[in-house]
Every structure is written in C-alpha cells, then in structure tokens.
C-alpha cells in the first residue's frame, strides 16, 4: 500500500534519518551514542520507529532498512575516528531479532566494518531478549562471530522480555541495558529498588557493563550511581537528536 511505497522511497530519497542519543559516564562525560531511526515524512512529519518498523518488517523492507542503518552508523564512526576529539566515541545500533537472524547478517556487519575501516570495538549491536525465541546455538554462534571481531553486544530493554538466566549466561554479551520502566520507578519504594539492585548484580556477575536507560532525574541518577551502574542514557543528558545537535553537545563539553 501507500505507506510501504513511501517507506521504500524514503530509503533512497534521504527521508530516513539517524538520531543520536548521548550515553554518558557518571561524571556526565559523553562516551557515545545510541543511533535511533526516524522517518522524516513530507506530510506526517517525524514518524517514530514504533510506527513504521512493524510495517517495514511486515513488508519485507527491514533487511534493506537495517542495512542502511548499519551503513550510516559505520560511516558516522569513520567520521568520528578521523578526529581525536571524537575518536573514542562508541555508537550503538538497534537490531531486531528477525534482522539478526537473517542469513549472513554478521558477515554483512563485518564487511561494513572493513569497508569503512573503523575500529570495531566502537560499534555496539543492541539486541533484545526476543532473539532468544530462536535456536540458542545459532544465536550464540552469530554473536561469537561479531564478538571475535571486537564488536560490542548489548542486551536492550533488559528485564521486560522473557529470558532465562541460564540462557543469559551463555550469550557473549558486553553490556546490559536496564529498561527504562525499572529506572523510572527506582526511587519509588523498596520493592522497585530491590529489583534494580538485582539487575545490576546480574550484570556485574556476568562481567558486563551496566547501562541505565531513561534516566530523567538527578534522584534516579544518584540512586543508580550508588547502586553501581556504569553508564547512563536518558532525557536528563539529552534526547535523541540529529547529528548536528549531538556534535554541538559534544563540543560544548570540552
């Protein structure tokens, strides 16, 4: 239908955009960004991914779109790595379960890393617990290929999906991202706090960096810092923004 045709057109017309949300360490230093896809639609304005990604998946367009996102991300990292002020920044890319499970997904990522000649350790792939519906061996094998090249692997929205801890232990992850629903409630009572404490402990026990998503208040940040989180992301530090905005925020901090 029309939406699918518009979306296909957007792929080559430049109406798909990557937005960048800062990721910071405890002292507020920007250490990287999460790339978040947006569709700049002529009539509808900025369309959020939750509205068009399901359509793209259904229409079989997600392979192309996902590839475009990864390509843009690698191009951006290549850019950053040419300048000392930005050379150490990491960039996180969301990959849906179906994208991750595509044949040769991991090979296409490695090809992009080599084409753009980037430091692979600065690229992170974010997966959600939904990949765990697939065959474990297959998921673990694909992750190992990416890890072996140095690419980071984050588990996104942790705690909201269905995953067994046994499974979690087998995945070669580098980062756990605490879902923002837990972060939002962390200062609202002991039961919520206990839950977040347990999540952080799991991350530490598995030797993962722990990033708290959706941090909006100083109180949340203080609590999370005391609780032992390593990295933070949320409106307190910056909303997802166009590359110009992100780079302006970067230059303001030096």
Query: Which range binds ligand G by CB under 6 A, 3-11, 161-169, 191-199, 209-217?
Result: 209-217
Query: Does residue 126 bind Mn ion (CB under 5 A)?
Result: yes
CB of residue 34 vs Mn ion: minimum separation in angstroms?
6
Give the residue, chosen from 23, 72, 94, 174, that forms a contact with Mn ion under the rule CB under 5 A.
94
| 113 vs 211 by CB, closer to ligand G | 211
**Which of Mn ion, Na ion, ligand G, none lies near 161, with the C-beta cut-off 5 to 8 A by kind?**
none
The yes or no reply on residue 54 touching ligand G (CB under 6 A) is no
Contact call for residue 12 and ligand G (CB under 6 A): no
Binders of ligand G among residues 135 to 154 (CB under 6 A) are none
Regarding 129 and contact with Mn ion (CB under 5 A), the answer is no
- Which residue lies nearer to Na ion by CB, 106 or 157? 157
CB burial readout 169-182, b (16+ within 10 A) else e: eebebbbbbbbbeb
Question: Is residue 129 a contact point for ligand G (CB under 6 A)?
Answer: no
Radius of gyration for the alpha carbons in the chain, expressed in angstroms and rounded: 18
156 part of the interface to Mn ion, by CB under 5 A: yes
Nearer to Na ion, 6 or 179 (CB): 179
Binding site for Na ion (CB under 5 A): 156-157, 213
CB of 213 to Na ion, least distance (A): 5
Residue 240 contacts which entry, Na ion, ligand G, Mn ion, none (Cβ below 5-8 A, type-dependent): ligand G
Paired strand residues for 33: 22, 91
Position among 28, 48, 172, 228 found at the interface with ligand G (CB under 6 A): 48
| Closest residue to ligand G, based on beta-carbon distance | 234
Three-state SS string across the chain, please?
CHHHHHHHHHHHHCCEEEEEEEEECCCCCEEEEEEEEEEEECCCEEECHHHHHHHHHHCCCHHHHHHHHHHHHHHHHHHHHCCCCCCCCEEEEECCHHHHHCCCHHHHHHHHHHHCCCCHHHEEEEEEHHHHHCCHHHHHHHHHHHHHCCCEEEEEEECCCCCCHHHHHHCCCCEEEECHHHHHCCCCCHHHHHHHHHHHHHHHHCCCEEEECCCCCHHHHHHHHHHCCCEECCCCCCCCECHHHHHHHHHHCC
Which one among 176, 210, 214, 246 touches ligand G, defined by CB under 6 A?
Answer: 214
CA-CA-CA-CA torsion for 99, 101, 102, 106, nearest 10 degrees? 90
**Interface with ligand G, residue 15, by CB under 6 A:** no
Number of residues counted as binding ligand G (CB under 6 A): 21
Binding site for ligand G (CB under 6 A): 21, 36-37, 48-50, 53, 69, 94-96, 156-157, 180, 213-216, 234-235, 240
């Amino acid at each position: 239908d029309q939406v699918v045709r518009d979306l296909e057109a957007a792929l080559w017309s430049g109406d798909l955009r990557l937005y960048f949300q800062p990721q910071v360490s405890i002292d507020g230093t920007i250490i990287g960004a999460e790339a978040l896809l947006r569709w700049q639609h002529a009539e509808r304005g900025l369309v959020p991914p939750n509205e068009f990604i399901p359509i793209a998946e259904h229409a079989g367009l997600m392979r192309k779109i996902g590839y475009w996102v990864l390509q843009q991300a690698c191009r951006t990292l290549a850019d950053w790595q040419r300048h000392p002020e930005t050379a150490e920044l990491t960039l996180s890319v969301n990959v849906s379960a179906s994208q991750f499970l595509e044949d040769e997904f991991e090979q296409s990522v490695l090809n992009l890393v080599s084409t753009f000649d980037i430091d692979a350790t600065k690229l992170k792939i974010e997966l959600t617990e939904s990949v765990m519906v697939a065959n474990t061996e297959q998921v673990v094998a694909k992750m190992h290929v990416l890890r072996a090249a140095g690419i980071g692997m984050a588990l996104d929205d942790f705690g909201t999906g269905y995953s067994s801890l046994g499974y979690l232990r087998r995945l070669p992850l580098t980062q756990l991202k605490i879902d923002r629903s837990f972060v939002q409630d962390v200062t609202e009572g002991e039961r919520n706090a206990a839950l977040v404490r347990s999540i952080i402990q799991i991350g530490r026990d598995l030797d993962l960096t722990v990033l708290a998503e959706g941090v909006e208040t100083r109180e949340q940040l203080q609590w999370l810092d005391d609780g032992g989180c390593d990295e933070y992301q949320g409106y307190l530090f910056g909303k997802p923004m166009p590359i110009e905005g992100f780079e302006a925020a970067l230059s303001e901090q030096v």
